[in-house]
């Protein structure tokens, strides 16, 4: 609670200070904000204290907001809690919060917590991450889970500050090509290094009767080669992984050449490029399967 709220309830400031002494029953989390017990401070405690400290209309954003929105593949929130406040407000974070003033304060999504919309939270997180794969994980997941579209992310990026936007802009270009995970983004770099025709990412394949076959990670349409990135880590659940195995069987039954690559194998760029070139050359030595591919729209 805020100290001024406790005073309004009838407690004196000296009583509050006494209860917040070392070893006392309460803990002070920030100037003017106390925790009404002395147990370990949880991330939830930090979020509530940050909102109380930041004041009315404060909105959680960044990784904390994304976690509360249900995202799972991003880095775990740590350090100061990122909150947005109206542009005219002056408030330090006191080591507890990263208080960002903005003239484009979003309306909080209805719910238990005042959260920035997914697109805003994702871009606010991406601007402060420095590891490319972490930015990929954040932006790809919100698109893959259909919580926002690439167009919404691009629009949000243009509305916000250009500070820290370079990585986010580059990753959004990857997503615009159809890439939907950090592993696929690494595969895209391998494909660009190979000198082969650019593949389609997450294209939908149909047989000659119009029956859906599968949606491989990457598709080389000129030779009918599917490229799959093999790992449970980059699928959302074991059930997704089982569906991946089923779609590979469906592609093989149609005569499609399928290349399987582990995400760890993509780190060895030269070996991955060589394997991709060899498999592509092999695919050229047999007739292209009679399938129709529809690019990601």
pLDDT digits (tens, 9 = 90+) for 245-292: 788 889 999 999 999 998 888 878 899 999 999 999 999 999 999 999
Where residue 241 falls among pLDDT bands split at 50, 70, 90? low
CATH H-level, domain 182-294: superfamily: VSR Endonuclease (3.40.960.10)
pLDDT at 177: 80
Strand 97-102 to 81-86 pairing:
parallel
Q: What is the pLDDT of residues 137-174, one digit of tens each?
A: 999 899 989 999 999 999 999 887 778 899 999 999 88
User: Helix 182-194 to helix 166-176 angle, to the nearest 10 degrees?
Assistant: 80
pLDDT digits (tens, 9 = 90+) for 67-89: 999 999 899 999 999 999 998 88
d(C-alpha 24, C-alpha 38), whole Å: 7
Half-sphere exposure of 220 (CA within 13 A, CB side): 28
Strands (DSSP E) found in 152-252: 200-201, 204-206, 212-214, 218-220, 225-229
Looking at per-residue confidence, does 132 or 90 come out higher?
132
Average pLDDT over residues 13-28: 95
Q: What is the pLDDT of residues 91-143, one digit of tens each?
A: 787 889 999 999 999 999 999 999 999 999 999 999 999 999 899 999 989 99
* Packed helices 132-144 and 182-194: angle between N→C axes, nearest 10 degrees: 110
pLDDT beyond 50 at 236: no
Mean pLDDT of 46-62: 95
Structure token pair of residue 93: 């974070």
Q: What is the pLDDT of residue 240?
A: 63
CATH 3.40.960.10 residue window(s) in the chain:
182-294
Q: How far is CA 119 from CA 84, 111, 161, 193, in A?
A: 14, 17, 14, 31
pLDDT for residue 79: 93
Per-residue pLDDT, 297? 61
Q: What residues pair up with 34 in beta bridges, in sequence order?
A: 28
């Amino acid at each position: 609670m805020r100290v001024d709220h406790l005073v309004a309830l009838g407690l004196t400031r000296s009583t509050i200070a006494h209860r917040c002494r070392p070893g006392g029953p309460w803990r002070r989390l920030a100037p003017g904000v106390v925790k009404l017990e002395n147990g370990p401070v949880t991330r939830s405690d930090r979020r509530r204290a940050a909102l109380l400290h930041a004041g009315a209309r404060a909105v959680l954003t960044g990784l904390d907001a994304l976690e509360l929105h249900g995202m799972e593949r991003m880095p775990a929130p740590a350090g100061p809690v990122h909150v947005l406040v109206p542009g005219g407000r002056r408030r330090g974070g006191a080591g507890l919060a990263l208080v960002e003033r903005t003239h484009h304060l979003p309306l909080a999504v209805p719910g238990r917590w005042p959260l920035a919309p997914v697109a805003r939270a994702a871009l606010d997180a991406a601007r402060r991450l420095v590891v490319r794969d972490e930015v990929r994980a954040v932006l790809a997941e919100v698109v893959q889970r259909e919580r926002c579209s690439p167009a919404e992310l691009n629009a949000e990026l243009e509305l916000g500050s250009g500070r820290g936007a370079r990585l986010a802009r580059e990753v959004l270009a990857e997503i615009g090509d159809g890439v939907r995970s950090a592993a696929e983004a690494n595969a895209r770099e391998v494909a660009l290094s190979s000198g082969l025709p650019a593949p389609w990412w997450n294209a939908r394949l149909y047989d000659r009767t119009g029956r859906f076959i599968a949606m491989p990670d990457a598709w080389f349409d000129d030779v009918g080669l599917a490229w799959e990135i093999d790992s449970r880590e980059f699928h959302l659940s074991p059930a997704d992984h089982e569906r991946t195995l089923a779609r590979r069987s469906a592609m093989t039954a149609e005569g499609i050449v399928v290349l399987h690559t582990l995400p760890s194998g993509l780190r060895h760029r030269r070996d991955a490029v060589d394997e991709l070139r060899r498999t592509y050359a092999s695919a050229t030595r047999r007739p292209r399967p009679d399938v129709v591919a529809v690019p990601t729209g």
